[in-house]
Amino acid sequence: MVHPSELTVNETGHYPYQAAIDVYGNGGFRFAEMSHRGSLLCLPTGMHGWDVTQSSEITLETLAPVLACADDIDVLLIGQGMDIAFVSPIIRDAFRARGVIVEAIATGGAVRTYNVLFGEQRAVAAALIAVDRVR
């Protein structure tokens, strides 16, 4: 029998339910008694692995899964790693056109804010770049 702490998202990098994040750091995240190594998208369709490692890789293309479910979210939190970087007006405009507010902050702040909004059952999504250490 596998202990819950040893479970990971399936081989496609997807957990089929949106969940609060219990822990972040060490290059990944823990949620729903599972762990995920790497960056993460938290969407109404579930938790998805995200192949972004730095803020310069955040584009409309890498955010396409979020845009695809934009009708089901009001807020997108972008966790940009340890620091905050400029988010392209193209990205902001694309989400604004769909009625989604975009907030770009460091990953730690994004995780905390996501958990609060998710706990309040708000229509929230997060795109989180994994970090090695927690501030």
How far apart are the C-alpha atoms of 9 and 7, rounded to whole Å? Answer: 7
Domains of the chain with CATH codes: 4-128 (3.40.1230.10)
Query: pLDDT digits over 5-30, tens only?
Result: 333 444 456 899 999 999 999 999 99
Query: pLDDT digits over 58-113, tens only?
Result: 999 999 999 999 999 999 999 999 988 889 999 999 999 999 999 999 999 999 99
List strands edge to edge, sheet with 14-15: 14-15, 46-50, 39-43, 124-128, 75-79, 101-105
Query: pLDDT digits over 40-54, tens only?
Result: 999 999 999 999 999
The pLDDT-based confidence of 36 (bands split at 50, 70, 90) is very high
pTM of the model: 0.89
Which pLDDT does position 84 carry in this prediction?
85
Count the Cβ atoms, other than its own, within 10 Å of residue 94: 17
DSSP letter for 65, please.
H
